[in-house]
């Protein structure tokens, strides 16, 4: 089994794990406690069309700011507290949902909240390669995704067979992720966290940094995200 780490694009045709720690992955994992399915949209206009067709709830952000006329932003805290009897959420985000569009593999969604569970499921269903894919920020490296990926890779490493090979990039993420207090301190000082705090979403950042508190594993298949 080959186990790798990449930015934005997957090299695996087998299993990929999309990681956008602040905040899309976290929002998706939390939303599946409330919604039966999540439909990622790749533009606000597409999201609105899907919402009209499905009568679903619209959630999304651009540069961290809630899109005008949407029901929700990309806030896991707001999604968790949202009251609705509808079963479909349509989500458009700047980074996480964007990279799903071109991933041609079995795609799982990972973050700090479900790192152990998503690692376990990836090992269960993969046959040749697991590629952890960081969403980043507009094509650039984002350390919060690197560290969340390291947490996932750590749990893969703990369970892997001797013949499984983790890339050196992946190994470095594992090493970087082991001191969780330092991880939290580092992420709170990132440009992403500071931008979200400035926009009033500090609670989302704190919420997203909790480790292994949910067993939800989300799978993206045929344009829809559901619980696996």
- Walk along the chain (228 residues) and give the pLDDT tens digit of each residue: 999 999 999 999 999 999 999 999 999 999 999 999 999 999 999 999 999 999 999 999 999 999 999 999 999 999 999 999 999 999 999 899 999 988 989 999 999 999 999 999 999 999 999 999 999 998 999 999 999 999 999 999 998 775 678 999 999 999 999 999 999 999 999 999 999 999 999 999 999 999 999 999 999 999 999 999
* Token output for 46: 């597409």
Q: Say whether pTM exceeds 0.85.
A: yes
Sign of CA dihedral 74, 79, 82, 85: positive
First to last CA, the chain: 22
The residue assigned the tokens 């999304």 is 60
CA pair distance 22, 137, nearest whole angstrom? 10
By the 8 A CB rule, do 67 and 75 touch?
Answer: no
By the 8 A CB rule, do 90 and 50 touch?
Answer: yes
Looking at residue 164, what is its pLDDT?
Answer: 74
Looking at residue 163, what is its pLDDT?
Answer: 61
Looking at residue 162, what is its pLDDT?
Answer: 57
By the 8 A CB rule, do 149 and 18 touch?
Answer: no
Could you tell me the domains of the chain? 2-226 (3.90.1560.10)
CA pair distance 127, 113, nearest whole angstrom? 25
Give the Cα-Cα-Cα angle 43, 227, 61 (nearest 5 degrees): 25
Closest to 138 in 3D by CA, of 63, 211, 82: 63
Looking at residue 216, what is its pLDDT?
Answer: 95
Give the Cα-Cα-Cα angle 199, 112, 205 (nearest 5 degrees): 15
SS3 call for 117: helix
CA pair distance 42, 137, nearest whole angstrom? 15
| Sheet hosting strand 57-62, strand order edge to edge | 65-66, 57-62, 88-92, 37-40, 224-227, 218-221, 106-110, 15-19, 129-134, 2-7, 165-166
């Amino acid at each position: 089994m080959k186990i790798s780490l990449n930015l934005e694009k997957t090299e695996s045709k087998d299993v990929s794990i999309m990681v956008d720690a602040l905040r899309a992955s976290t929002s998706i994992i939390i939303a599946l406690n409330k919604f039966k399915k999540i439909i990622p949209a790749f533009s606000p206009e597409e999201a609105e069309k899907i919402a009209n067709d499905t009568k679903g709830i619209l959630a999304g952000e651009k540069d961290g700011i809630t899109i005008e006329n949407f029901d929700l932003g990309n806030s896991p805290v707001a999604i968790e507290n949202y009251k609705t009897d509808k079963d479909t959420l349509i989500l458009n985000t700047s980074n996480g949902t964007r990279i799903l569009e071109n991933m041609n593999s079995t795609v799982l969604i990972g973050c700090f909240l479900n790192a152990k569970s998503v690692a376990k499921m990836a090992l269960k269903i993969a046959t040749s390669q697991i590629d952890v894919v960081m969403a980043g920020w507009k094509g650039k490296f984002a350390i919060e995704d690197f560290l969340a990926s390291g947490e996932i890779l750590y749990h893969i490493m703990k369970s892997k067979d001797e013949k499984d090979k983790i890339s050196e990039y992946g190994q470095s993420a594992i090493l970087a992720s082991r001191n969780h207090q330092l991880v939290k301190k580092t992420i709170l000082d990132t440009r992403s966290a500071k931008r979200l705090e400035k926009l009033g979403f500090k609670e989302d950042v704190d919420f997203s940094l909790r480790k292994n508190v949910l067993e939800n594993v989300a799978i993206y298949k045929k344009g829809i995200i559901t619980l696996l």
